[in-house]
Chain A
Amino acid sequence: AQTVTQSQPEMSVQEAETVTLSCTYDTSESDYYLFWYKQPPSRQMILVIRQEAYKQQNATENRFSVNFQKAAKSFSLKISDSQLGDAAMYFCAYSSSTSGTYKYIFGTGTRLKVLA
């Protein structure tokens, strides 16, 4: 069975600095998607970035980028120039359709604090 692990329950970063959130996953499938979702205090789940496993190029979205290491099954999120609005829970998620079930599997989350 697939698993997603986020080993950092909480992280802190100074405003304008860079922080990296870690995520590892386990799967025997070759075709899958990886996601980072942000959950601010409003509780809304917001997609931050997605990565398709068959693409070697790391995905980027403005200040957010990933370091996707397929062989190591690692998918970290880098936030550059951190802003107060980045403070939230961040969830890593895995999804694959090759098993035919189309399920998402989430990690337990990392709470990011941004210090002014």
Chain B
Amino acid sequence: NAGVTQTPKFQVLKTGQSMTLQCAQDMNHEYMSWYRQDPGMGLRLIHYSVGAGITDQGEVPNGYNVSRSTTEDFPLRLLSAAPSQTSVYFCASRGGGKRTDTQYFGPGTRLTVL
């Protein structure tokens, strides 16, 4: 049981490049989310999913796309990277049906956009 895994751990991009951050969980959790963490701002929700085929926007969705074709995977796509997207990105998953349950986090991806 690996929990929530993220790849890569570190990435450097040039402005305008695209890339996909991978996230997978093996706990059969329905809910998955992507957050970005910036100094002094805590974690902010980018996109989330309540099940395969269902996604929705969070607080800071601009510049990011997501899809959820399987329960296990929830990739985050940067279509055209900008320096403002330099951040640490966390994927998280949660089970729990209709009642809120504990959220488990991946190890994070540090992204630098030059």
Binding site for B on A (CB under 8 A): 9, 32-33, 35, 37, 42-45, 47, 50, 91, 95-97, 101-104, 106-109
Spot the interface stretch: B17-25, B61-69, B100-108: B100-108
Q: Complex Cα distance A9/B40, Å?
A: 8
Residues of A near B107 (CB, < 8 A) are: 42-44
Whether B42 pairs with A108 at a CB distance below 8 angstroms is: yes
Overall SS of chain B's interface? strand
Contact with A along B13-47 (1 / 0, CB 8 A): 00000000000000000010101000011111100
Overall SS of chain A's interface? loop
Whether A35 pairs with B33 at a CB distance below 8 angstroms is: no
- State which residues 60-97 of B face A: CB under 8 Å: 88, 90, 92, 94
